[in-house]
Amino acid sequence: MQPISSLHNKRVRHVKALASKARLRRSERKLILEGDRLIADALARGGAAELALYAPQRADYGVIAQLQKRKCTLLPVTESILRHVSDTQQPPGILAVFHMPKPTIAQPCRRVLILDAISEPGNLGTILRSASAAGVELAILAPGCCDVYNGKTLRAGMGAHFRLPIVEASWSEIADFCRELRVYATRAAADCPYTNVDWAGDWALVLGNEAHGLSQAARRLAVCEIAIPMAQASESLNVASAAAVILFEAQRQRLRSDSTLVGALAVD
């Protein structure tokens, strides 16, 4: 099949529209993944791809074979077409249209991350990546967050969108969901160090906006505000860095608690 070279091709135009219009992505419940690694990871996690555009000279045919096996429509295109539809300056050899994952929420949900108006796509994706790696069971996007299916967010997330349940909710819905959880919120001026928290229990953690910090709704929900102690000359951490520090401390405490419990049961 001759690679498609026309910008007026119906499918090329549709992919370009999906890449550039968040409203269209939401209405069709679709997202675009670029690159062999993200696509292969999404497929391994049960992601459903319906269309892929690829450059025949640069495509990974192992990934192509996986897409074929899942009945995905494959269209060879020229490099100029890839550059046209891609969200990056140097596009990889393939991009694919996936259906947005349907989150499966653990019951009961013991470790919840609430994101309060996170506005930078790279930060949002990096936070989700850390949350997935640190054993968070659910990420809730409160009002004001940037588009979680933005191309930059997807790349920064490195597959977290298909490993971690992600939902959007109002503050009233969040408050209702967190009734059985102890809610902590990060604030640079808080008196309680994050290491003083008992993260082995059931909790929710709220991270605030990069520039403005916590919203009033977030502060009303939290039972305790926590901070990361730093050297006096240091300013506050980037929100994605702060998320990683706190979430992996929570994981460390949980794993230690679990191992202690296993040890006690073994002795009994």
Report how far residue 109's alpha carbon sits from residue 105's, in angstroms, rounded to the nearest whole number: 7
Reported as type and span, the H/E element at residue 95 is strand 94-99
- Is residue 233 helix, strand or coil? coil
pLDDT computed for residue 238 by the predictor: 93
Residue 9, Ramachandran bin (φ over 0: left; ψ between -120 and 50: alpha; else beta)? beta
What's the pTM value of the predicted model, to 2 decimals? 0.92
pLDDT computed for residue 4 by the predictor: 97
Cβ-contact 18, 87 below 8 angstroms: no
Q: Which pair of structure tokens corresponds to residue 209?
A: 């906006």
pLDDT computed for residue 111 by the predictor: 97
pLDDT computed for residue 34 by the predictor: 97
Give me the DSSP letters along 19-64: HH-HHHHHHHTEEEEESHHHHHHHHHTT--EEEEEE-TTT--HHHH
Report how far residue 182's alpha carbon sits from residue 116's, in angstroms, rounded to the nearest whole number: 17
pLDDT computed for residue 266 by the predictor: 52
Domains and CATH numbers, the chain: 10-99 (3.30.1330.30), 111-267 (3.40.1280.10)
pLDDT computed for residue 231 by the predictor: 82
To which residue do tokens 């999404």 refer? 42
pLDDT computed for residue 157 by the predictor: 98
Report how far residue 246's alpha carbon sits from residue 249's, in angstroms, rounded to the nearest whole number: 5
pLDDT along the chain (268 residues), means of 10: 94 96 96 97 96 95 96 97 93 96 91 97 98 98 97 96 97 96 95 96 96 95 95 80 97 87 52
